[in-house]
Structure 1
Amino acid sequence: MLSLVDLRTRLSAGDLSPEGAIRLAQEAIAAREPEVGALVCRHDAPLVATRGPLAGIAVGVKDIIDTADLPTQMGSTIYAGWRPRADAAIVSRLRALGAVPLAKMTTCAFASVDPTATRNPHNLARTPGGSSAGSAAAVAAGMVPLALGTQTGGSVIRPAAFCGVAAIKPSFRLLPMVGIKTFSWALDTLGLFGAGIRDVAGALALLADRPGIDLPEESPTGMRIGLVLQDFAGEADPEAVEALQAARRAAEALGAVVTDLGLPEAIAEAWRCHPIVQDYEARQALAWEYAAHRDALTPLLRAQLDAAQGLTAEGYDAARRQAHQARRMLKDVFSEHDALLTFSAPGYAPAGLASTGSPRFNRLWTLMGVPCVNVPVPGPGLPLGVQVIARFGDDGRALAVAAMIERGLRAGVGSVS
């Protein structure tokens, strides 16, 4: 994989030019894209900035995020060839920092659930997950050092786990959603993919203009971590359970105190409310597409919107109240824990391309609006990941704890056998 931190170090030292760094990405795309299929379109001769903290950094942009110089097609034939007049706010920020939005990455239609044709770089017979399929796969394949995705249920953390890359779904609205196709305005969150935790931490600090988010040189000490199985979401596969225990051992070896934690029933009930909030809002966000182009919608999304027509305002309001109550209770949980540790996905990436996998271990935390970080767990088989969660607005702590666990796992402490 291409590391953002390593590239920036080489660029700063003068060992690599911005044009040379972009060429590395282009060469990797030429080598891997034919088999992975992560890209929708790209620049062959992009304008490369020579100044800025991200000068020379190629970025993959999920294809629901507007770009003025490349089509934004939403993963749907309805928007085939559509060209926005302006960049999304996050793309403008990337350009201001010197980065090159090099390519648009595949997405499930409107960031929903119908799979793309993108393949998992670690096993081409398996899904990379979704809906940010191309973004996760491109980073995993070493095509770009940074990619943008979005999460409404589990569309950043889950594909990151399946593809073995680091990712963060930041606190709700830390990064601007202006110029990004809405699915659910109460849930949609912009996220980042990178080779490792330091890569996504550094990128988030720059994009959010919050230097304090970036990681300190030393690991935090004495962290209180609650290990959460999310029993209300069903059982995880044995390999995911072992990955979670490996992460626990790595954290404990580095001085963290990890305790098993059950969540209050009100929080479990909020997990059950997530689909109501999501689908009630999707029915409105995609009202024009549903009314004017229902037959052109992908099958699973069409069925989802069909079912959503029966949702009521009363049910939606009740679901929102339950979520609000759960957020208040989660503050109490974080009064006794610095971070939570849980599954990123139920197990390995599913075989075939008929499903992007289940987001059931992600959707609660998206509804809560809290920062979530995927930490890849090394092992002998397919990629696995664990999820580190911190209180709302404490993205730096989530990343610091994730980096600590990553460091322990890479050193072989608590590794998966």
Structure 2
Amino acid sequence: MLEREKESTGEKMLQQVMAFAEEYIFTLSTLIMVIVSPLYMLMIVYSIQNRFLISVGTSVVCYVLFVVDIYTNILSDVVESWSPIPSISDYLFIFFIAIPIGVFQGNVELKMESMEEDEDGTLKILVQEEAEFCEYVEEAIGEKKKDEVCIIIDGKNCSNVRNLFREFAYKFEFPDDFNENWDEFGECMNDLYWIEEERCTVYIHNSDQLLQDYVEDFNVFMSHLGDACMTWDNEREVDGFCMVMHCIPAKEEELMAKLEVAKCEGKYVYEQELIEIIYDVHTLEGTNYIEILPGEGEIEYWSESSIFFKEEHFGYIMPAFEKYYERFDYCGINEIRIHTWNEILAELEEIKEYLMSHPNPHSLGHVVGFIYEGVEAAFMQNYAENRNQLIVMITDSQAWIEEQSKTTKVITVLGM
């Protein structure tokens, strides 16, 4: 009897709760919608402005489901077979849990999708607020690989050319004899021999403020960075030179416009020079030469007994060295014994015979080495003359090596 009374009391309480919900649930839902709707709208607008696409999708879906839930009771009364979707509490759970998750995912998405790469994959543009960028760099440095060095440049410290030179000289640890001019800046950025790591990532904070009022200098600067990327990739066995240029969202258009101009203005056009061996050390200008000299051990650069090649000219025959001297270091000292030189000379002979038997090829890339962008195009513009000069250079090289091999067992190639 007592149990029946308990059951009856429980049923009555349940009926009362259901009646209350039936009477007030629509009003309660409407009130919640009135309060929450502006928050949803702000969330969606904020997400769109910051390109949090996942967050936008999450917010819109949750909002639609929330509105549908409000009218579930009405539909339940009109259509008997209607099966109501989960209660509003479930959607409140979604609101408080799913939306923050969506924002977090959107933030990750922003970091990934706003990072635009050029064709070589060496330049990345990161559009973020300053605090977010600092956090991003901190995480990246914390997760960097053992063979990677990270360098942070602040565009605020590079407002003019002089300040830019000083910022880069300090952060990259340029040699003490660095003179503040574009030629030496380019040489230092192309060398970077003192950086032992295989990978170098440069984070340029506030890049929109870098040389902001110096358009021509900005174009020259970007050209030198492009050369540094190519040199690094050619001299290290991995494509490890990467720049991450940061700007705040408000400056994105301005920065992209500057980079587009720099890309057009800074396209490297190589001018073909006379292809020859240089015998007189006193005629050299600058340091971009490959030196070959007899002997080994204590090596002295710029010897009067050496022969010299301009960097790109030696590049034409470099495949022969890389093929038969596996440890060949374009930037280092290569002590090559005569028996290996004989193999290299034989390979050079094959290259020469190919040039002599193919007067008008469409491309020489599979036979001759072209170390810089534009070198092959310039070579092919005046192919007949350049081909003849290259044949003479190879012939003279062979004769010089054969002559030196009579008196020495090792002939050394000194790289850049």
TM-score between the two structures when normalised by the length of structure 1: 0.26
Structure whose alpha-carbon radius of gyration is higher? 2
Q: TM-score, normalised by structure 2?
A: 0.26
Q: Which structure is higher in helix share?
A: 2
Query: Relative contact order: is structure 1 or structure 2 higher (C-alpha 8 Å, sep ≥ 6)?
Result: 1
